[in-house]
Amino acid sequence: MITVKHVAQAAGVSPGTVSNTLTGKRPVSAKTRARIFQAIEELGYKPNLLARSLVNRRSHFIAVITSEIDQFGPSRILSGIEAQAEELGYSLLLSLMRDPSQADVESTITNLVARGVDGIIWAVHQVGNNRRWFTRERRKKLPPIVFVTMEPKPGFTIINSNNRAGAALAVNHLIDTGCRVIGHISGPLDWWEARERLTGWRQSLAQAGLENTDDLVARGSWSAESGEAALHQLLSQRSDIDSIFLGNDQMAIGALQAAHRRGYTIPHDLALVGFDNIPESRYLWPPLTTIHQGLFEIGKVALQTAHDAIEYPDEFIAKQITHQPELIVRESTGVVHSSGQA
Amino acid sequence: MITVKHVAQAAGVSPGTVSNTLTGKRPVSAKTRARIFQAIEELGYKPNLLARSLVNRRSHFIAVITSEIDQFGPSRILSGIEAQAEELGYSLLLSLMRDPSQADVESTITNLVARGVDGIIWAVHQVGNNRRWFTRERRKKLPPIVFVTMEPKPGFTIINSNNRAGAALAVNHLIDTGCRVIGHISGPLDWWEARERLTGWRQSLAQAGLENTDDLVARGSWSAESGEAALHQLLSQRSDIDSIFLGNDQMAIGALQAAHRRGYTIPHDLALVGFDNIPESRYLWPPLTTIHQGLFEIGKVALQTAHDAIEYPDEFIAKQITHQPELIVRESTGVVHSSGQA
DNA sequence: TTGTACGCGTTATCAC
DNA sequence: GTGATAACGCGTACAA
């Protein structure tokens, strides 16, 4: 292995001067610098970043803890995080939680801290009480932590999507296209996001003076399979439903299939709106109207925020950033009645 | 920050003894060990893994380089890698290539090596000539590298799925269900996997004495959108096609939509088989017959193999491991005619 | 069984 | 502008 010493010897200087040349923190004369660069080139020297981290107390590692990476949401967020990490010169340490609800936070976090990470991005979906580990006292001893997709809480830095507003977009669009009995297939209600979307559905209907009773709601588990079952359940509860807002696109896939099996024509017999705008949603039959969240952007912002907290620890104060989702209109909902066009 | 010195002082011993207690490489008397553990507990000491890596010349980092993490295949493989990494005590360093075909391999790899990774898993799909950087001379200077999803090559350690065999499963199933004019919608042919699946299609038809001419093939780009276009193209080339083997499930989604738009009933008018067994495939309309690859398992094996190469560098020799895919029969193909049942 | 001294590769400090 | 020296936190010969 080639070290600074070898380079220094080859260039006829001291190791310190080599370091100064590389970091640029102290001036080095043009000609010695040229000699050093030449020696580096000839020897193929690369600085050992581990050693550098040790003395600098800055590893340029950021840990990402997430789960269900084969789902659309988490993978999209991770992509955004990685893109920004590359931009800012960080390497990503990836940890996956197998069961987000009973994660062994303690061992995961302490291991990452022992690795010397500069910051942590916690992108595990909020399920049940799985963020209770992060007490104020514990966080004080940790590097900066940015939370993604979590309920707002004072003192926490959180990057979020406005799930209620997304639900409102979906429900209001259904109302605009003439629907009057609007059901909801929710995600599991121990998930914060599922509760938010349910609340958004409920509030929008209340504002419009439409029904929002419990028999208009069925509960799924995010999977296509559960969407299928929930659709059957919902229609048996209330046969007069003319449209459904679904908690995510996966469940919408299952619901579409179930609707086909029942011989429904969509959107004529039943209008459907999903949530997430997964790539496939555009190619379902019929193409799915859905809510787009800028998850890639959320990932980028999360890493940028972690960087800010690392780089300027004194100025940085806990903050919350919320992204607004947007409506993507496709063929699983009807033409707008009130004034606009589809 | 608490270090060995603090612990040593608190326990009234020398730093070396603390280290011996932790690593267990030298015997320590029971009572001093008890004192040391107590001091560790009280101080909340955690060994600095960066410093340990520096002196041990073993970081327990493994780098994973992949791309398109929001696609099913790569994310599934990554999950498997991570699971096994956790099992064996490695931390994962994640790098994503934005454009796999013209990746800047040099800078990515050298950065990871400078980070002191013990091994590298290259899980970027083989596109064009994007592995040409890995010459024998370059690899000799690098930590062990395991390649995933690549064309076999002597001297390379590669974990693979048998794409040809998968294609054969698909085509033979179509033949068994009475299809005689079997088209293929391929992935982009600069991808090795796309070529393999095409070859498997061609060989299986040849063996069965059926047509496999070029007008039975249309080329897609893996996306649902391209599957839609390819289906129209294929049917305009050959109106007598009774079934299609598709290079992946995404394209099958698009093709299904296109078939619906043309008023086809599936599988009666057209039978379809996909490739990948993405979670949604079961909930398409109709549920999609497809080929399952054990990508999670492939990920696990890749990391295990990297570990073997790291741990036993002398015994380890380059090897290739190929997983056999399996057929998942659903409703997008008909009932088996020859002898079996669906 | 335990303490001492040094090395891992780098940067920071202090002289010159 | 440059060179010696110490230090980051840990492991490990070597000596005791």
Q: Which residues of B touch A254 (CB under 8 A)?
A: 283
B300: CB partners within 8 A, 6+ apart = B80, B81, B83, B84
Residues A269-322: tens digit of each pLDDT: 999 999 999 998 999 999 999 999 999 999 999 999 999 999 999 999 999 999
Q: In the prediction, which pLDDT does A342 show?
A: 36
Q: SS in 3 state form for A181-234?
A: CEEEEECCCCEHHHHHHHHHHHHHHHHCCCCCCHHHEEECCCCHHHHHHHHHHH
**What distance in Å separates residue B4's CA from the closest CA in chain A?**
13
Residues with Cβ < 8 Å from A213, sequence gap 6 or more? none
Tell me A54's DSSP state.
H
A98/A100 Cα distance (integer angstroms): 6
Backbone region of residue B292 per phi and psi (left: phi > 0; alpha: psi in -120 to 50; beta: other values): beta
Min CA distance, B111 vs chain A (Å)?
9
Distance of CA B342 to the CA centre of its chain: 30
Backbone φ, ψ for residue A333 (5° rounding): -130, 160
Contact B247, B185 (CB under 8 A): yes
CB A73 within 8 A of CB A276: yes
Q: Is residue B16's beta carbon less than 7 angstroms from any atom in nucleic acid strand D?
A: yes
Q: Which nucleotide is nearest to B116 (CA to C1')?
A: C9
Q: Provide DSSP, B8-46.
A: HHHHTS-HHHHHHHHH-SS---HHHHHHHHHHHHHHT--
Q: In what order do the strands lie in the sheet with B119-122?
A: A320-323, A158-161, A145-148, A119-122, A61-67, A91-97, B91-97, B61-67, B119-122, B145-148, B158-161, B320-323
For testing contact with chain A, the best of B110, B285, B297 (most A CBs within 10 A): B285
Q: Would you say A306 and A121 are in contact if contact means Cβ atoms under 8 Å apart? A: yes
Does the reported pTM lie above 0.85?
yes
State yes or no: pLDDT of B340 exceeds 70.
no
- The ranges of chain B annotated as CATH 3.40.50.2300 are 57-162+294-325, 163-292+327-341
Which pLDDT value is given to residue B103?
72
Minimum-distance nucleotide, CA of A11 to C1': D2
Confidence category of residue B337, pLDDT binned at 50, 70, 90: low
Spatial distance between the Cα atoms of A123 and A143, rounded to a whole number of angstroms: 16
Q: Are A50 and B115 a contacting pair at CB < 8 A?
A: yes
Does position B159 have pLDDT exceeding 60, yes or no?
yes
Q: What share of chain A is helix, strand, coil (3-state, %, to 5)?
A: 45, 15, 40
List B64's β-bridge partners, or say none: B94, B121
Taking the CB of residue A123, how many other CB atoms lie within 10 A of it?
A: 25
Question: Which 286-315 residues of chain A touch chain B by CB within 8 A?
Answer: 287
Closest protein residue to D6 using CA and C1' atoms?
A55
Q: Which residue has the tokens 């349910």?
A: A198
Among residues of chain A, what percentage have pLDDT more than 90? 92
Nucleotide at minimal C1' distance from the B31 CA = C1
Give the separation between CA A184 and CA A272, rounded to whole angstroms.
10
Q: Is residue A30's beta carbon less than 7 angstroms from any atom in nucleic acid strand D?
A: no
Residue A51 with chain B: CB contacts under 8 Å: 54
Q: Which of A47, A48, A224 sits opposite B279 (nearest CB)?
A: A224
**Chain A 4-23, CB below 8 Å of chain B: which residues?**
none
Which pLDDT does position B145 carry in this prediction? 98
Cα–Cα distance for residue pair B177/B183, rounded to 1 Å: 15
Shortest alpha-carbon distance between residue A14 and chain B (Å)? 22
Handedness of CA A49, A55, A56, A60 (dihedral sign): positive
Through-space separation of residue A15 CA and nucleotide C5 C1' in angstroms? 23
For the cut 60, the answer to whether the pLDDT of residue A30 exceeds it is yes
Map tokens 């393999």 to a residue.
B196
Backbone angles phi, psi at B303, to 5 degrees: -70, -40
What are the pLDDT digits (tens) for A303-313?
999 999 999 99
Domain B163-292+327-341 grouped into CATH 3.40.50.2300: yes
- Reported as a single tens digit per residue, the pLDDT across A75-133 is 999 999 999 999 999 999 999 998 888 778 999 999 999 999 999 999 999 888 889 99
Domain A4-47 architecture: Orthogonal Bundle (1.10)
Q: Are B297 and B323 in contact (CB under 8 A)?
A: yes
Q: What is the pLDDT of residue A338?
A: 53
| Gap from B52 CA to C7 C1', Å | 13
How large a percentage of chain B has pLDDT more than 70? 98
At the fourth CATH level, which superfamily is domain A57-162+294-325?
Response regulator (3.40.50.2300)
First-residue to last-residue Cα distance in chain B: 65
Q: Do B54 and A54 touch (CB under 8 A)?
A: yes
Q: Helix %, strand %, coil % for chain B, to 5?
A: 45, 15, 40
A27 touches strand D (CB under 7 A): yes
Cβ neighbours of residue B276 under 8 Å, at least 6 residues apart?
B72, B73, B248, B249, B250, B290, B291, B292, B293
Sequence-ordered list of residues with C-beta below 8 angstroms from that of B209, at least 6 positions apart, any chain: none
φ, ψ dihedrals at B238, nearest 5°: -140, 105
Closest partner CB to A76 (pick from B70, B79, B225): B70
Report, in ranges, which bases of strand C sit under 7 Å from a protein C-beta. 1-5, 7-13
> Within 10 Å of residue B207's Cβ, how many Cβ atoms?
13
- As to burial, measured by CB atoms within 10 angstroms (0-12 exposed, 13-18 middle, 19+ buried), residue B95 is buried
Give the pLDDT band of residue B342 (cuts 50, 70, 90): very low
For residue B46, the chain A residues in CB contact (below 8 A) are 110, 113-114
With beta carbons under 8 A apart, name residues in chain B contacting A223.
279
Mean pLDDT to the nearest integer, B336-341? 53
Q: Is B288 helix (H, G, I), strand (E, B) or coil?
A: coil
By DSSP bridging, strand B91-97 and strand A91-97 are antiparallel
What residues does CATH 1.10.260.40 cover in chain B?
4-47
Q: Do B282 and A225 touch (CB under 8 A)?
A: yes
Q: Which residues of B touch A225 (CB under 8 A)?
A: 282-283
Which tens digit of pLDDT belongs to each residue from B253-285? 999 999 999 999 999 999 999 999 999 899 999
Tokens 């896939």: give the residue: A253
Q: Which residue is nearest to nucleotide D12 (CA to C1')?
A: B16
What distance in Å separates residue B1's CA from the closest CA in chain A? 10
pLDDT of residue A340 exceeding 80, the answer is no
pLDDT at B130 exceeding the cut of 90: no
Beta-carbon neighbour count of residue A12 at 10 Å? 11
CA atom of B55 to C1′ atom of C3, Å = 20
**Percent of the residues in chain B that have a pLDDT greater than 90, as a whole number:** 91
**What is the rounded average pLDDT for all residues in chain B?**
95
- Provide the token pair at B332: 């997008």
With 80 as the cut, is the pLDDT of residue B102 above it?
A: no
Q: Give residue A337's pLDDT band: very low, low, confident or very high (50, 70, 90).
A: low
